[in-house]
A and B are shown apart, each in its own frame.
Chain A
């Protein structure tokens, strides 16, 4: 079964950092375009970052310079390092796969991990 399971969220003070993980099963992370998408309470989803199969990375302007996406092929796991957290980063963070690269939407999503930034 194709599955994504996120972990690593929590309550953090402004300026703090977190590393989110997304463990995949049923498919190979390194062969797909893997994304992080976040959803603030009561809002629509917001794309955050993508890691292509060739290793290229892209970020939303709102997180550029603070977030870093990476993967560990041996663990079939995607990561998101989040630094200098802001209150507006509070959201559920999902990892999601684009099954056919740039010509497909995100078809598999994890259940998400919650990040709360508050003093």
Chain B
């Protein structure tokens, strides 16, 4: 199985500042059928299920604010929140869906 490793485990950012989360996969997640990276990002608030934010590494899901953006390719990926809002406090997970799906261990984002 592909192992997903996230860093940092937790992040404290001031309101309006940028938050950056990293994710590394143990092998490439480039999908052979379309040459896209099968990498997604989820947001999970306490007591809620994960919410899809980003797919194909950089495509924003419908309704997701444009302050959320994804980048990267191959084995290294990043989720950025350009201007942190109070409602962005949550745990964020990266997820690969190329083979048997796997998730990262999560990054907890808090307000400074």
Contact = CB atoms under 8 A, between A and B. Distances in A.
B103 A105 contact: no
Please classify how large the interface on chain B is, using the bins under 10, 10 to 19, 20 to 34, 35 or more: 20 to 34
Contacts of A111: 48-49
A104 B104 contact: no
The bracket for how many chain A residues form the interface is 20 to 34
Given A44-B104, A47-B102, A103 B34 contact: yes
Most buried by A among B42, B49, B55: B49
Contacts of B31: 103
B100 A58 contact: yes
B52 A106 contact: yes
Contacts of B40: 105
A66 B103 CA distance: 22
Interface string A32-59: 0001010000011111000000000010
Nearest to B47: A111
Contact of B52 (A35, A94, A107): A107
Contacts of A45: 42, 50, 93, 95, 103
Contacts of B52: 105-107
A44 B55 contact: no
Interface string B59-96: 00100000000000000000000000000000001010
Counting chain A CB atoms within 10 Å of each CB, the highest count among B42, B50, B105 belongs to: B50
Given A106-B52, A107-B61, A109-B49, 7 more contacts: A44-B93, A102-B97, A103-B38, A105-B40, A105-B55, A109-B51, A111-B49
5 contacts: A45-B50, A94-B50, A105-B38, A107-B55, A111-B49
Interface of B: 31, 33-34, 38, 40, 42, 48-52, 55, 61, 93, 95, 97, 100-106
